[in-house]
Amino acid sequence: MKIVFAGTPEFAAQAMRAIHDAGHEIVMALTQPDRRAGRGMHLQASPVKVFALEKNIPVLQPETLRRNNVDEKKKSQAEEVYQKLSQIDFDVMVVVAYGLILPQEILDISERPGRYGSFNIHASLLPRWRGAAPIQRAIESGDRKTGVCIMQMDAGLDTGDTVLVEELAIADDETSGTLHDRLAKMGAKLIVKSLNQLQDGKDLATTPQANIGVTYAEKILKSEAEIDWNLDAQQIAARIRAFNPFPGATTSLNGLPIKLWNARISKENHGHLASPGEVLGLSDQGVCVQCGSGSIEVLEMQKPGGKRMNAKTALQTFEDIEKSLCFKSGADSF
Known binding site for (6S)-5,6,7,8-tetrahydrofolate: residues? 124-127
| DSSP codes joined into one string, 230-275 | TSBHHHHHHHHHHTTTTT-EEEEETTEEEEEEEEEE------S---
Fill in the DSSP letter of residue 321. T
Structural contact between residues 263 and 241, judged by C-beta atoms closer than 8 angstroms: yes
Residue type, position 310, single letter: N
Structural contact between residues 66 and 91, judged by C-beta atoms closer than 8 angstroms: no
Structural contact between residues 227 and 260, judged by C-beta atoms closer than 8 angstroms: yes
Structural contact between residues 279 and 287, judged by C-beta atoms closer than 8 angstroms: yes
CA-CA-CA-CA torsion sign (310, 313, 316, 317): negative
Distances (CA, A) of 49 to 34, 52, 58, 221, 234: 9, 5, 9, 25, 39
| DSSP codes joined into one string, 13-29 | HHHHHHHHHTT-EEEEE
What's the CA gap between 334 and 329, in Å, rounded?
13
Structural contact between residues 313 and 282, judged by C-beta atoms closer than 8 angstroms: no
What's the CA gap between 116 and 91, in Å, rounded?
6
Scanning 55-145, the segments in alpha helix (DSSP H) are 72-87, 104-110, 134-140
CA-CA-CA-CA torsion sign (261, 173, 162, 91): positive
Q: Which residues are annotated as a binding site?
A: 124-127
Q: Count the helix, strand and coil residues of the chain and give each as a percent rounded to the nearest 5.
A: 30, 25, 45
